[in-house]
Structure 1
Amino acid sequence: MVAPVLRLSRAVVFATVCGAVSAGGHVLAGGGLVPFWVCLAGVLAAFGLAYLVDGRERGAVAVLAATVGAQMVLHQLFARLAPIAEPRATDGAGHAHPAAGATAGMVLVHLTVAALTAWWLHRGERALWLMIRLYAAPPPVIRLLVTAPPEITQPSWRPVACDVPVLVERAVSSAVGRRGPPAAPRHSR
């Protein structure tokens, strides 16, 4: 199970990314500017979805499903509560209807945004869980560096008495001092 703080922070990141990118995509696909309160409502809806499914590490398919679900909810919310910038088509009775291209374009933009944010969020999800696993079970070298060593006594640097007799210098008469490599051995026949 995931700690509440980690679960909350992951849900906040998911909701913020989905809400901000979806609002930007909504505007670029022909919708009007999304009012702050509508964007906040969308972020809170995405936060609720993310918090519900955020109990453990999720794979790419689960992250994609969550982002597609969030984008569809945000699309519906923005389409109903945000003004539409594209001209509306009218039917024979003069009733206004949103242009069919705008709706298809919006859905395509939201699905594209869902795929891109799912890829990006899944990469972050994998990196986060890798760090958690590494922190939970550090390699032995890191464990040695991180753990406190047992109390070590400091070495003493006092002089030690020495009872070795001092030899008087004398020349060794049989020693010959030469420079160079040793002579090649002679073979006797």
Structure 2
Amino acid sequence: MAHVFAGGSVSAPSTAGALALAFVAAFAMSGRERTLMAILALLASLQAGLHVLFSLAHAASPAEAIGHVHSGLVPGLGMLVMHGWAVGLTSLWLARGEAALWTLLRRLDARLCRVLIVHATPAYTSFFMPSTIEPEVLRSAVLRHAVSRRGPPRLVTATSS
């Protein structure tokens, strides 16, 4: 869309090629948590690849080429700045979102394992018989950041010399 807003045109085959290129790159990076630098490098190379793809697919007349931001494959300064902002912001958003998602998945995995281990019922237990297992006694949680400065303030005396 940004290429069209900048004055370029995008054909259906180049759009399909762009989607295929983005999908292959994302699929190759999937499966584990990625760092900000890995995401930044991938997005920068994708931006360059998509820029070349759209520039080669753009059939411009000489009158359009004058009004377009760049001619051929060499981008102008404004386009480099816009590509840089797009890569930087998108990679920051993706890195933070991915970190939050993987943290959530790790926590859910740990909790799900605890639930399955604690509440696993043996195969020989009849569902018609009431359970005789008593629930565990709840205990108070230890406060992690407890402040132990309780009581009245210390008595301060002033000595005069």
TM-score, normalized by length of structure 1? 0.52
Asked whether 1:120 is paired with 2:93, we answer yes
Distance of 1:100 and 1:33 partners within structure 2: 15
Deviation of the 1:115 alpha carbon: 1.3
Deviation of the 1:45 alpha carbon: 1.0
Aligned to 1:73: 49
Aligned to 2:143: none
Whether the 8 Å contact between 2:55 and 2:72 is mirrored in structure 1 is: no
Q: Which amino acid aligns with 1:36?
A: A
Please, which of 105, 109, 123 is the counterpart of residue 82 of structure 2?
Answer: 109
Q: Quote the sequence identity (%).
A: 33
Distance of 2:13 and 2:37 partners within structure 1: 31
C-alpha RMSD of the superposition: 3.4
Asked whether 1:50 is paired with 2:26, we answer yes
Secondary structure of the 2:130 match is coil
Deviation of the 1:43 alpha carbon: 1.5
Asked whether 1:61 is paired with 2:15, we answer no
Inter-CA distance 83–127: structure 2 relative to 1 (3 Å threshold): farther
Asked whether 1:88 is paired with 2:88, we answer no
Secondary structure of the 1:137 match is helix
The unaligned stretches of length 5 or more in structure 2 are: 133-161
Q: Aligned pair count?
A: 123
Inter-CA distance 126–60: structure 2 relative to 1 (3 Å threshold): same
Deviation of the 1:60 alpha carbon: 0.9
Deviation of the 1:63 alpha carbon: 0.8
Deviations 1:124-161 (A, max 9, x none): 21122112201221189x728x8356767269xxxxxx
Secondary structure of the 1:56 match is coil
Whether the 8 Å contact between 2:40 and 2:87 is mirrored in structure 1 is: yes
Asked whether 1:25 is paired with 2:6, we answer no
Whether the 8 Å contact between 1:64 and 1:115 is mirrored in structure 2 is: yes
Please, which of 81, 89, 103 is the counterpart of residue 130 of structure 1?
Answer: 103
Deviations 1:26-79 (A, max 9, x none): 123x23231222112012112222222334210111111111111111111111
Distance of 2:18 and 2:57 partners within structure 1: 11
Distance of 1:113 and 1:57 partners within structure 2: 21
TM-score, normalized by length of structure 2? 0.60
Deviations 1:136-189 (A, max 9, x none): 21189x728x8356767269xxxxxxxxxxxxxxxxxxxxxxxxxxxxxxxxxx
Asked whether 1:143 is paired with 2:115, we answer yes
Q: Which amino acid aligns with 1:147?
A: H
Whether the 8 Å contact between 2:35 and 2:95 is mirrored in structure 1 is: yes
Q: Which amino acid aligns with 1:78?
A: F
Asked whether 1:153 is paired with 2:130, we answer yes
Inter-CA distance 98–128: structure 2 relative to 1 (3 Å threshold): same
Secondary structure of the 1:119 match is helix
Whether the 8 Å contact between 1:87 and 1:99 is mirrored in structure 2 is: no
Distance of 2:73 and 2:11 partners within structure 1: 23
